[in-house]
């Protein structure tokens, strides 16, 4: 893990999570291009509320993926398939 994607020689302040291996400054500059979006507490609450309401589809790089939803039936031990 000695190599850094951005070419920075410094080893401090490196973001290694998710295999990024780039400096914090480079991450701040490229975060939007990579697809990271800064979320506020309100945005997270709204996403959680919609998650708990029912099935939804996540779109990742042009592919739709159905998400598994927690429901009362599932939390009480009865399994339900959404596919």
Task: Give 57's strand partners.
Answer: 66
Put simply, whether the predicted model's pTM sits higher than 0.85 gets the answer no
pLDDT of residue 70: 42
23 within some domain: no
Q: What integer is the mean pLDDT of 5-25?
A: 74
What is the per-residue DSSP string for 11-55? -TTEE-GGG--EEHHHHHHHHHHHT-----HHHHHHHHHHHHHS-
For residue 24, tell me if it sits in a domain. no
8 within some domain: no
State how many domains the chain has: 1
Q: Is residue 66 part of a domain?
A: yes
State how far the Cα of 81 lies from the Cα of 56, in Å rounded to an integer: 14
Q: Within a domain: residue 25?
A: no
Is the residue at 48 inside a domain? yes
**pLDDT tens digits for range 31-43:** 888 888 777 788 7
Domain that holds residue 61: 41-75
């Amino acid at each position: 893990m000695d190599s850094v994607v951005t070419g920075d020689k410094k080893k401090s302040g490196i973001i290694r999570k998710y295999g990024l291996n780039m400096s914090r400054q480079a991450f701040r500059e490229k975060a939007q291009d990579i697809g990271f979006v800064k979320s506020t507490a309100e945005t997270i609450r709204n996403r959680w509320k919609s998650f708990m309401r029912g099935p939804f589809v996540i779109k990742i790089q042009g592919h739709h993926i159905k998400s598994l939803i927690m429901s009362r039936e599932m939390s009480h031990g009865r399994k339900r398939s959404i596919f």
